[in-house]
Amino acid sequence: MKNYLIPIFLLSLLLSACSGTKKSTNTTVVEEKKDSKDSSDIIKIDPLRKSDYKIKVGQKISYSYKEHGSVGISAEYDLSDASVLVFKDKIREFKNPNNAQYPGGDESVITLFFEGGKPGSSNLKITNLFRGKTENEFKFKITVE
């Protein structure tokens, strides 16, 4: 009877390895959801290209950054006038969603969504942090028309 245990154990290892390929399919599904989101009228802030943006009342603008909390990588935002530029949503997309519950598996991309609330201008400051200390800051002037 002991002779049967080794092949059964090897078969279970093989099956668990095969189920690992299905996990990458789940990641693709998450990426498809991201791409299928209607983002045609959302302006994406690019800190390497410009620092001044103009949007209309009701129009959305977004900023994305990498976050890896278990390592100490994060960011904060600050608005000079929250009635002109209104924070609407924060979406987290894990790099490997199937590993998110494991230590070190929390690497993700955070997207912050803002909306033009009323005409005027507001300064948006993004502070990138590493273990609680400022790594760098990006400042944007958002004008709402």
Q: What is the pLDDT of residue 21?
A: 33
* Phi and psi angles of residue 32, each rounded to the nearest 5 degrees, phi first: -65, -40
Beta carbons within 8 Å of 87's beta carbon, 6+ residues apart: 77, 79, 112, 113, 114
Q: What is the pLDDT of residues 21-64, one digit of tens each?
A: 333 222 222 333 343 345 568 999 998 899 999 999 999 999 99
In this predicted structure, what is the pLDDT of residue 8?
A: 52
The pLDDT > 70 percentage for the chain reads 72
Q: Say if residue 108's pLDDT is above 90.
A: yes
Query: Where are the extended beta strands (E) located within 1-145?
Result: 43-44, 52-55, 60-67, 73-79, 85-94, 108-116, 120-130, 133-144
- Whole-number pLDDT of residue 22: 32
58 Cβ neighbours under 8 A, 6+ residues apart: 115, 116
Separation CA 117–CA 123 (nearest Å): 14
**Residue 5 predicted with pLDDT over 90:** no
Residue 103 confidence (pLDDT): 85
- Position 16 scores a pLDDT of 43
pLDDT, average across residues 8-33: 37
- Say if residue 13's pLDDT is above 70: no
The mean pLDDT of the chain is 80
Is residue 77 classed exposed, middle or buried when 0-12, 13-18 and 19+ CB atoms within 10 A define those classes? middle
Residue 128 · residue 137 · CB < 8 Å: yes
Reported pTM: 0.70
Q: Is the confidence at residue 71, as pLDDT, over 70?
A: yes
